[in-house]
């Protein structure tokens, strides 16, 4: 396979729609639409309370599926922005918590058949609440859940957001939660 040409279909703020002209190994040239993405950061915020650890999650309105999803806070990385800086910014904007530490947990491609979006996942600790800073178009609420409850919700398909499922499973496998 060899990409012969890339044509911009639509330029967006966080990602672009492009069409690739690809010469496949069978000798046939085909076009393939895709999304070029700046990347994103997901955060697994662990809040220590008097009652034990809690995972800070958001119930986020997802217009693409006309529903609210329980998920970990996340957001796009601006061009040239460090993923860890983006993670701290998104954590603060969506949850109102600032983290003293952000540790890398894992990285993955979200949907490589559609996009080149690369997701960086961080564990946030030593949280201080300073207040949400939502964008005017965002509609989400914050929920504090016991880690065991979040794991059970992943196991029971009550949490269906892929980035959240992968981050929770990875943190569980590494003994973080």
Euclidean distance between the first and final Cα of the chain, in Å? Answer: 42
Concatenating the DSSP letter of every residue in 23-87 gives: E-TTS-EEEEEEEEE--EEEEEEEEEETTEEEEEEEEEEEGGGTEEEEE--EEEPPTT--HHHHH
Given a contact cutoff of 8 angstroms between Cβ atoms, the answer to whether 59 and 161 are in contact is no
3-state secondary structure of 121: strand
Place of tokens 């996009």: 115
- Which residues are marked as active site? 138
Rounded distance between C-alpha atoms, residue 154 and residue 57, angstroms: 13
């Amino acid at each position: 396979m060899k990409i012969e040409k890339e044509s911009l279909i639509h330029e967006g703020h966080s990602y672009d729609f492009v069409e690739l002209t690809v010469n496949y190994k069978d000798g046939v040239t085909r076009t393939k639409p895709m999304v070029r993405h700046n990347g994103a950061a997901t955060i697994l915020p662990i809040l220590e309370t008097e009652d034990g650890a809690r995972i800070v999650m958001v119930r986020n309105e997802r217009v693409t599926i006309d529903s609210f999803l329980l998920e970990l806070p996340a957001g796009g990385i601006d061009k040239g922005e460090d993923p860890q800086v983006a993670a701290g910014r998104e954590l603060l904007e969506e949850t109102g918590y600032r983290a003293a530490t952000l540790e890398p947990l894992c990285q993955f491609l979200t949907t490589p058949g559609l996009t080149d979006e690369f997701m960086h996942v961080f564990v946030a600790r030593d949280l201080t609440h300073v207040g949400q800073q939502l964008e005017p178009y965002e509609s989400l609420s914050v929920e504090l859940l016991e880690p065991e409850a979040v794991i059970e919700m992943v196991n029971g398909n009550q949490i269906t957001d892929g980035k959240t499922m992968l981050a929770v499973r990875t943190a569980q496998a590494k003994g973080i939660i």
